[in-house]
Chains A and B, each alone.
Chain A
Amino acid sequence: METQEISSRVGRLIRQVGSKVEGELPSSAEFRDLGLDSMDVVDLLNSVEHEFGIAVPDSGIPVITTVGALVEFVETAL
């Protein structure tokens, strides 16, 4: 899957779990700066698992904190 496609789908999921930020989400954006709290982030990672059919381990929770890190994780896992 192309990086652009992954980014687009990740962006949609970020908004689905509660972010009100519009437009393209910068790769460096921290989830908390997009309006997500700690449990929203868990919801996001769970929805990424469903969306892409991959597993995000608990150890990923504290280290996947930006849009770019999540896109990169998905790319690697696919």
Chain B
Amino acid sequence: MITARTPAAVLCGVGGYVPPKVVTNDDLAARLDTSDEWIRSRVGIHQRHVVEPGTATSDLAVRAAEAALQSAGTRDIDVVVLATTTPDHPCPATAPTVAQRLGLGCVPAFDVSAVCSGFVYGLAVTAGMIASGLARHVLLIGAEAYTTILDPYDRATVSVFGDGAGAVVVRAGEPGELGAVQAFDLGSDGGLAELIMTKGGGARHPRPDAADSWFAMQGQAVYRHAVRRMVGSSRAVLDAVGWKPQDVDRFVGHQANRRILDAVARELEVAPESAVINIDRVGNTAGASIPLALADAVATGELLAGDKVLLTAFGGGATWGSSALTWPALRAA
């Protein structure tokens, strides 16, 4: 008798990287109408890491990926997926460059564009490729040189975003084992596209003037929709895996804004101390934020084998997504 089981996507390595240059709130206050108190009270950020001129998303992605590969103890990768809002170039995708620089050979490599939800979307794509048998080991990276698309005089965005990368290695495995991704909830609402947008530079507006070439965000409306969607999506995933909110050991929300994270945790009724927080040190790194938070939490011992982990994100599009897994035994790289 021949039997076939759909393989599960099992997380088996994690790594993160932030560029060395740190910009504090006081550094921003020296050139913008803002203050350390203003930024801390509104978004809970104390500092962020930023790239130097000439450093691009692929440079960060390669560093985080190297750490994840070391954590996984393998370089046997057959697909590279990169979640990013800030590709090195509008065309082509950045993932093939990253795969080539990592020496992974001519493997399939492509970018996923879902802004701050990109990592969760990428994880779903990864799980699907593993379930279908197309891949056995996938390197999934979230990387952003986000400060390269910000108006340097827009305090609302400059104070929030930072640069960085996080990566995971996902392998084919069994549904019941530690590290197996158990469920997803994904969604989008194109009617909210203008809340988070770089208007120019695409086919709709290919040669923009200066104002339309920068990233812009309607902060109040984003706050409102982010909380609603992250709560709703998280509940859908919790229902799917049969966990109660109090069963969640680690709540890893997209590090958008400390007050969004607090509001989502409060409405979901997960334990406040379950929240993994690194936004105070790295800011909002968009598609990199969840894997970077995971890597930081492993490094600090906040994430332990067997922990029930809930991931949730909201981002431009608007897009949102959540996932649940039980954390594997990993070493920080």
Question: How far, in angstroms, from A38 to B217 measured CA to CA in the complex?
Answer: 14
- Shortest CB-to-CB span from A26 to chain B, Å, is 23
A61 an interface residue at 8 Å Cβ cutoff? yes
- Shortest CB-to-CB span from B228 to chain A, Å, is 9
**Interface residues in B, total, Cβ within 8 A:** 10
Chain A residue at smallest Cβ distance from B38: A37
Chain A residues with CB under 8 A of B41: 37
A1 an interface residue at 8 Å Cβ cutoff? no
Contact A38 B42, beta carbon cutoff 8 Å: yes
**Interface core residue of A41, A58, A62 (most chain B CB under 10 Å):** A58
CB under 8 Å from chain A, chain B span 185-230: 218-221, 223-224
- Shortest CB-to-CB span from B216 to chain A, Å, is 14
Question: How far, in angstroms, from A61 to B263 measured CA to CA in the complex?
Answer: 19
Chain B residues with CB under 8 A of A16: none
CB under 8 Å from chain A, chain B span 30-69: 41-42
Contact B42 A58, beta carbon cutoff 8 Å: no
Contact A42 B42, beta carbon cutoff 8 Å: no
A8 an interface residue at 8 Å Cβ cutoff? no
Contact B221 A39, beta carbon cutoff 8 Å: no
Contact B220 A37, beta carbon cutoff 8 Å: no
- Shortest CB-to-CB span from A18 to chain B, Å, is 11
Contact B224 A58, beta carbon cutoff 8 Å: yes
B259 an interface residue at 8 Å Cβ cutoff? yes
The one of B218, B219, B224 that contacts A46, using a Cβ cutoff of 8 Å: B224
Chain B residues with CB under 8 A of A37: 41-42
Question: How far, in angstroms, from A15 to B219 measured CA to CA in the complex?
Answer: 22
Interface SS of chain B:
helix
CB under 8 Å from chain B, chain A span 27-65: 37-39, 41-43, 45-46, 58, 61-62
Chain A residue at smallest Cβ distance from B219: A38
- Shortest CB-to-CB span from B104 to chain A, Å, is 43
**Chain A: interface size category:** 10 to 19
Chain A residues with CB under 8 A of B42: 37-39
Contact B259 A61, beta carbon cutoff 8 Å: no
Chain B residue at smallest Cβ distance from A56: B224
Chain A residues with CB under 8 A of B218: 58
Question: How far, in angstroms, from A45 to B224 measured CA to CA in the complex?
Answer: 9
Question: How far, in angstroms, from A3 to B220 measured CA to CA in the complex?
Answer: 27
- Shortest CB-to-CB span from A10 to chain B, Å, is 18
Q: Give B226-244 as 1s and 0s: 1 = Cβ < 8 Å from A's Cβ atoms.
A: 0000000000000000000
- Shortest CB-to-CB span from A76 to chain B, Å, is 20
Contact A38 B224, beta carbon cutoff 8 Å: no
Chain B residues with CB under 8 A of A62: 220
Question: How far, in angstroms, from A46 to B231 measured CA to CA in the complex?
Answer: 14
- Shortest CB-to-CB span from B197 to chain A, Å, is 14
- Shortest CB-to-CB span from A56 to chain B, Å, is 9
Chain B residues with CB under 8 A of A46: 224
Chain B residue at smallest Cβ distance from A46: B224
- Shortest CB-to-CB span from B177 to chain A, Å, is 41
Chain A residues with CB under 8 A of B263: 43
CB under 8 Å from chain A, chain B span 89-104: none
- Mind listing 19 A-B residue pairs with CB under 8 Å? A37-B41, A37-B42, A38-B42, A38-B219, A38-B220, A39-B219, A39-B220, A39-B223, A39-B259, A42-B220, A42-B221, A42-B223, A42-B224, A45-B224, A46-B224, A58-B221, A58-B224, A61-B220, A61-B224
Residue numbers of B with Cβ under 8 A of A are: 41-42, 218-221, 223-224, 259, 263
Q: Which 10 pairs of residues, A with B, have the shortest CB-CB distance?
A: A58-B221, A61-B220, A42-B224, A42-B220, A42-B223, A38-B220, A39-B223, A39-B259, A61-B221, A37-B42
> What 9 additional pairs, Cβ within 8 angstroms, besides A37-B41, A41-B220, A45-B224?
A37-B42, A38-B219, A39-B219, A42-B220, A42-B221, A42-B223, A42-B224, A43-B263, A61-B220
